[in-house]
Amino acid sequence: MGHGHDHDARRVGSGGALGLALALTAGYTVVEVVAGFLTDSLALLADATHMLSDNVSIALALVAVRLARRPATPDRTYGFKRAEVLAALANGVTLVVLAIWILYAAVQRFGDPPEVLGGWMLAVGAVGIGVNVAAGAVLFRAREGSLNVEAAFRHVLADLLGSLGVVAAAVVILATGWLEADAVASILIALLVLASSWSILRDSTSILLESAPKGMDVRAVGERLAQAPGVVEVHDLHVWTITSGFPALSAHVLVGRGEDCHGRRRELEALLHDEFGIEHTTLQVDHVSDPGGLVEIGRFG
């Protein structure tokens, strides 16, 4: 029960952080879209598109957090906890599509770059830096243990780098008159967006494919269980992640004929909690069938 309360508390905090970040980024998106058209800056429009993507992604993340709070049902025994992971995957895909669009538009501009109002571009980019720093600070702490909030944080981080690129391009245009700097900045923004999407796509697909939790050595877990007092063999061991920060484990454990199955199960559950941080466990504990022992004591596999 403590585990469930920890996750509920984390999601409540995450929801508040996501709501505040959404208000900040949504307000700035309107400013940047208008400024992008007025200044004819592709870098601003590219960053505005990314900001719009941020708004959608953070809104999705916020909805996912609220869905994840809904209780389990007979049809959905884990409730909607995986909604966070699905939202993160959608965000990662959105980032890739966005980056491709920016790259295409930037290449088209190299042949005939339009006049760009560098002064206004510089001012709007500077405001963008402030907004993204504020939104990033809000999400920074809330992202711990939540792939969903981590995805939103990476959106904001990529946008911060994009705003820095806009400012740099504006300075170059004002100082040298080189209009292609706008397209160059757009390409750099697109590459940053692609880089930020990779880890989110990797981690979310890993969870959906029920891979072992990141950084956990399943063989080491199995061998440690097999070394516990009274354990003869451990097999059918599975370790996966329900949602970010929520690992789960199931295994079949054989103990000696004179052992207390229920007592050994409680000991193994405590071991998994204390040494590996796994609280959601399903252990089937049975006595070994042969009095002489069919398997080597402490065997895993």
Reply yes or no on whether the pLDDT at 301 is more than 50. Answer: yes
In this prediction the pTM is 0.70
| Strand order through the sheet with 280-287 | 280-287, 246-255, 231-243, 299-300
Q: Could you tell me which residue, 79 or 238, shows the higher pLDDT?
A: 238
What mean pLDDT, rounded, does the chain reach?
83
Distances (CA, A) of 153 to 13, 213, 222: 14, 21, 35
Residues near 54 by beta carbon (within 8 Å), at least 6 away in sequence? 25, 29, 152, 155, 156, 159
Spatial distance between the Cα atoms of 132 and 116, rounded to a whole number of angstroms: 23
Q: Using 50, 70 and 90 to split pLDDT, how confident is the model at 246? A: confident
Decide the pairing of beta strands 231-243 and 280-287. Answer: unpaired
Q: What is the pLDDT of residue 278?
A: 94
Instruction: Domain ranges for the chain, please list them.
Output: 2-208, 218-300
Asked if 194 and 95 touch (Cβ cutoff 8 Å), the reply is yes
Q: What is the pLDDT of residue 141?
A: 76
Average pLDDT over residues 147-161: 79
Alpha helix (H) residue ranges in 69-179: 83-110, 118-142, 147-176
pLDDT tens for 190-212 read: 887 787 788 788 888 999 999 99
pLDDT tens for 93-128 read: 888 888 888 888 888 888 777 788 888 889 998 998
Q: What is the pLDDT of residue 2?
A: 41
Question: Which residue in 86, 97, 20 sits closest to 53, CA to CA?
Answer: 97
Average pLDDT over residues 282-297: 70
pLDDT tens for 54-79 read: 787 788 778 777 777 788 788 887 78
2-208, superfamily in CATH?
Answer: Cation efflux protein transmembrane domain (1.20.1510.10)
Q: Using 50, 70 and 90 to split pLDDT, how confident is the model at 297? A: low
Q: Could you tell me which residue, 301 or 83, shows the higher pLDDT?
A: 83
pLDDT tens for 31-42 read: 888 988 888 888
Are 2-208 and 218-300 in the same CATH fold? Answer: no
Q: What is the pLDDT of residue 88?
A: 80
Distances (CA, A) of 38 to 31, 98, 126, 173: 11, 22, 17, 16
The CATH fold of domain 218-300: GMP Synthetase; Chain A, domain 3 (3.30.300)
- Residue percentage of the chain with pLDDT more than 70: 90
Reply yes or no on whether the pLDDT at 290 is more than 70. Answer: no
